[in-house]
Amino acid sequence: MMYCLKCQDWISQPVTWSTLFLPNEQTQLCDSCQSQLKRIAGTICERCGRQMPNETMCEDCNKWQSNKKYRDTLLFNRSLFQYTPFMQEVITQWKYRGDYQLKDIFSPYIKKEIRNFYPTKSFTIVPIPLTNERLHDRAFNQAIAIAEIIAHHHKNPVIHALSRNVSHSEKQSKKSRQQRITTKNPFFLTKSLETDVLLVDDIYTTGMTIHHAAKLLQEAGCAHIYSFTLVR
């Protein structure tokens, strides 16, 4: 018997050959919750993986690409889901309930897609650390859980190479975009790394977090830096 990890409804599982032999392949969501997950599909922004109405670079990427310091720092980001109110709920639930099992919602989706996303087969998987505020709230770091799922299916190591400076955890949302781009990089490296890197986080919003982290790794000598977030 299985319960939906989101709404706790009972999930009836038809026994088929695939559920018999691969019981873990199914996402542990009921049909109703599953239908509310909006997959990114069709035309995307080539750089950040955001779903787009036509083939064009999104506004966020235009800004990053026109910034001399950050241009091409991140080769590209890929994400699986669109940011919907439902997804926001799932992410919040995961973060503050700290329920490690909620990773099973996404594991089958990540497993299915991750190999198709990146040209490099060998990279170090680096999760984005929580802000100090969130650490203080005892929030659970999903980036680590997502990184572990990828590592499991992609056979690459997870290395916690980044940490956050205490003084730079101020709320970014109150600043304008230009202020945010010029905000001091909140990260520092805790390990030396010169491999290709896949940065992992839960959500890509403006791309600031990922670009800050990527810049640091690039300066340290990492040649190709990609990122994966669940949501864009």
The DSSP secondary-structure symbol of 101 reads G
Beta-carbon count within 10 A of 136 CB: 10
DSSP H/E element including 165: none
Q: Any contact of residue 217 with Zn ion (CB under 5 A)?
A: no
Q: How far is the CB of 95 from Zn ion (least distance, A)?
A: 18
3 state DSSP class of 77 = strand
Start-end of H helices in the chain: 17-21, 31-36, 59-65, 85-97, 103-117, 132-136, 142-154, 177-182, 208-220
Q: Any contact of residue 58 with Zn ion (CB under 5 A)?
A: yes
Q: Which is nearer to Zn ion, 4 or 40 (CB)?
A: 4
CA distance 98 to 96: 5
CA distance 28 to 105: 5
Q: Which of 37, 61, 147, 222 binds Zn ion (CB under 5 A)?
A: 61
Q: Which of 27, 28, 30, 208 binds Zn ion (CB under 5 A)?
A: 30
First to last CA, the chain: 33
CA distance 225 to 232: 18
Q: Any contact of residue 48 with Zn ion (CB under 5 A)?
A: yes
Q: Which of 40, 47, 145, 199 binds Zn ion (CB under 5 A)?
A: 47
Which residues share a beta bridge with 6? none
Q: Which is nearer to Zn ion, 5 or 146 (CB)?
A: 5
Q: Which is nearer to Zn ion, 77 or 218 (CB)?
A: 77
Q: Which is nearer to Zn ion, 45 or 200 (CB)?
A: 45
Q: In the numeric block, which tokens belong to residue 90?
A: 């799932």
Q: Which is nearer to Zn ion, 58 or 144 (CB)?
A: 58
Q: Any contact of residue 6 with Zn ion (CB under 5 A)?
A: yes
Instruction: Tell me the C-alpha to C-alpha distance, in Å, between residue 196 and each of 59, 120, 127, 223.
Output: 27, 8, 14, 6
Q: Which is nearer to Zn ion, 37 or 161 (CB)?
A: 37
**Per CB under 5 A, which region of 47-55, 137-145, 162-170, 197-205 contacts Zn ion?**
47-55
Q: Any contact of residue 4 with Zn ion (CB under 5 A)?
A: yes
Q: Which of 45, 110, 203, 231 binds Zn ion (CB under 5 A)?
A: 45
Contact positions vs Zn ion (CB under 5 A): 4, 6-7, 9, 30, 33, 45, 47-48, 50, 58, 61
